[in-house]
Structure 1
């Protein structure tokens, strides 16, 4: 009852315990009072301060009764031990109470900090939606209203306006993807480094050459490429039996390309598995492509390519 309840039942159980300890201390051994520490610890976990105070009072009465009943047989050495024991037991519930209160406050503080972090994240997402998607949707609304007016006045201009609306819609879709990707962002450089360590731990010597480090990719592009590199590395570990791997990043003819070459047994009789299909799907989303070249003598080569967006070309 004392363990399961922290209300009046705990106090009642403690009082009963003090009564039993009193009887045992008087008729068996006075040092049975040491079991009072058990109930002193439980009392400190009570929810009500009045219950704790009442329990301490009951504990003091227990010691008083035992001392009065055993005064004649109580040796000097025993009294020197029992008095400190009594003081410690009387203070122990208060100490436990403050320890428990400190733990509860720490848990509440952790919960509050978690809520603050979540609130800040919500505000960031709301701000991003307002600054990006909201502006783009406003442009679509204005363009649509203008097109509606031009249908009767200037039908020849309607096609151009519709093309502008289509382009703006694609921009909005891209912004949505980037916002979602920001929430699940995977760094390409971090993933390349991780894959290099993973391959080398499997005794596959790996080299990485980035020939265009100044290219800045969008978060969705970087995440998609990083996931494809991860998939290619997983396939290599599972099937290639390779000893060497070379990864190169190039920027040619407005294409950002990652080439992953191993010297394993190739893809013969394996076909395109789910991993390769997923790489193709990810590259297709970015208007890019994933190519797979295999040869039983030279190994497998995975080529991931996406178009370089305007303003992101490497300096000449």
Structure 2
């Protein structure tokens, strides 16, 4: 298809524009009744008008000048015949195709000037019949550019809305992938660590204490089944971790690694304000215990839950080797390292979870031992406040 026949970026197809050229037969008919010299000049003006009209439809460059040129030609025709005012229907849609507000204002001002000068020259304001004949056409011609501008902006807004919805969908998918990645790391990493420890223990006991080794193997089977169930829950989005249950689970995995769990205080028996907060703190405790088993070489792990005005603190401490300088450097580059306490997936995953509830994670390691403090804000429910009144 020739380039000039293609549909422009804005406005109707070029074929649609060329169909209306048939109405130029009326000014041509009027020209043939003039003297040969005036007819020749008029015919030349009509040819130039047609060329400018088609060009302005196909190309954006110089469109304002084309519009002003057409308005000038129409003005010349109007000085010999007021009916030539109808030719303003041709530049009207092209005015609506202008994308610059400044150009649109200039072109619209030229159109209004054409109407005003024609009415003044022919004194149409004194002729009621002529005014009623031309006024509806002038109103329609004025409305056409605004209708095209509003239509174009509506299409642009719809396109932006489609792009925004696609971007939201993409971000939602990425967030879901990250959530699944965190859940799989936290859940399966915890469970597989337990299976590994119990397998090593069963291997050591198989000759010395076969009965206990058999029990460890049974525990491994039970743990693997639990891991399968957890994976299914993760996939179905039904994984609801509770902090109280994670404390009991942490005691088992720490005991398998010969680490004693000390639970300080009785605040674990209190009901947490929301399931989301309970789930996030439970997953953070699970990841912390997994890190202690993998990296700390600790003998004792202490877990404490502190209720303070306006906030809740979960403190997980161990008496292990602490965080080395190399690990601290690795923590500052979480996207460049692997898993574990100093790696990216451990601390980064916990911090990302805490962000969902405006929580914070503080790591302290001076000499031996490491302390992780998870702090989350507490918001009192309005019903609770009203009940206390």
* TM-score greater than 0.5 by the shorter chain: no
TM-score, structure 2 length as denominator? 0.36
The structure whose Rg is larger is 2
The one of the two structures with greater contact order (alpha-carbon pairs below 8 A, sep at least 6) is: 1
Scaled by the length of structure 1, the TM-score of the pair is 0.43
